[in-house]
Amino acid sequence: MSKSDRLTPGAAAFLGHTYVDHIVVPPHDLEWIDCKVIGKKLVTSFGGSAAAASFYCSGFGLRSDFLGQYADDQHGPMVMNWFDRYGVNLHLPRLVNRSSVSIIVVAQREIRTIVKFPDVNYLSKFPRLDVDECRGFYFDGYQIDALEYYAPMCQEKEIMRFADIGDGERFADDHLRLMNVIVASDKIVKKRDLKNPRNALRFLQAMGAKIAVITMGRRGMIWFENRDFRYFPALDIEGHIVDPSGTGDANAAGLFYALLQWPNDSVQNALRFSRAAAANKALHLGHENALTSAEAVKAMAENFREISEGEVELQVA
């Protein structure tokens, strides 16, 4: 754990919330009402978009700093061990009463249910660190007070502000206007009453994003760079999926890494890497089991074909 007053020179920073994920695989023929059964698998892993992204990016070879929370409870040592084991620098975490926990049930037909138990009642202030040598800043919507401190500072210094907003619930419009790269799931369409994914892209464009991506699962992604709207297909991993939870986190981590690591490459190639990172996650139970190198992610993607537009109902207009 770092007590420095500055972020690690040349590192990327991640601001968010660490979850302890308990991932359960029940029998596929489970009767859900009033039953008791023997589960097939149980895995405990780290979770939370920014936390997971920091671990993925560290594995890809990017020096990573994390600004999160910590509780002195039964889960606390496990959380600290993850940061030590995977080389992510944890900066003076904010104290909370208990660790945040998710129960994830991966059921039949690759459907998952997630029940979250967060503790966002912070007992201490966030650390105020020098960002001058930060390569990019990743936000997931937790610790809004810290976001409101760091995002304008990064904007002034022209440091990438990357937001994984999910369905957009944790981000107000004023927060979105501070970001120049935004990834959202297609759930934002319903949450913000935007009618369809293309309207969601237009909304993010109006917020000032230079690059925005809407993820749509098997239907792939739609994205824009400046004013250029495009479709990007998913990989066909159906039949190989082990755990669909966390694929959005892995996708965002892959895009953040690729944009920083290959700044002169095209956004389309960055999406190719992020798509591979998401597919790799789906093939593993829990985030920790999916950690690997950037080279391994690229090699894995070569084993799967792209799903053509004709094979899915896009309905993005």
The answer to whether residue 23 sits within a structural domain is yes
Segment 263-281 mean pLDDT: 95
Check residue 44 and give its pLDDT. 96
Per mean pLDDT, which range of 12-21, 76-85, 157-166, 299-308 is the poorest? 299-308
Check residue 312 and give its pLDDT. 60
pTM attached to this predicted model: 0.94
Q: Is the pLDDT reported for residue 109 higher than 90?
A: no
Q: Is the pLDDT reported for residue 4 higher than 80?
A: no
The b/e string for 145-180 (b: 16+ C-beta within 10 A; e otherwise) is ebbeebbebbbeeebbbbbbbbebebbeeebbebbb
Segment 116-125 mean pLDDT: 96
Q: Is the pLDDT reported for residue 123 higher than 80?
A: yes
Check residue 134 and give its pLDDT. 96
The answer to whether residue 2 sits within a structural domain is no
The count of structural domains within the chain is 1
Highest mean pLDDT among 78-82, 243-247, 304-308 belongs to 78-82
The answer to whether residue 33 sits within a structural domain is yes
Which one-letter amino acid corresponds to residue 92?
A: L
Residue 211: which CATH number?
Answer: 3.40.1190.20
**Structural domain that includes position 81:** 12-311
The answer to whether residue 6 sits within a structural domain is no
Rounded to 5°, the CA angle 148-152-158 comes to: 145
Check residue 236 and give its pLDDT. 93
Check residue 239 and give its pLDDT. 87
- For 188-198, write each residue's pLDDT tens digit: 999 999 999 99
Check residue 310 and give its pLDDT. 64
pLDDT top residue among 311 and 106: 106
Check residue 227 and give its pLDDT. 73
Q: Is the pLDDT reported for residue 6 higher than 90?
A: no
Segment 125-136 mean pLDDT: 95
DSSP conformation class of 73: S
Check residue 73 and give its pLDDT. 96
- The bridge status of strand 19-25 relative to strand 41-47 is antiparallel
Q: In this structure, what token pair is assigned to residue 230?
A: 């495009």
301 Cα distance to chain centroid: 19
The answer to whether residue 198 sits within a structural domain is yes
Quick one: what percent of the chain has pLDDT higher than 70? 93
The answer to whether residue 141 sits within a structural domain is yes
The answer to whether residue 3 sits within a structural domain is no
The answer to whether residue 233 sits within a structural domain is yes
- For 29-39, write each residue's pLDDT tens digit: 666 667 787 88
Is residue 65 very low, low, confident or very high in pLDDT (cuts 50, 70, 90)?
Answer: very high
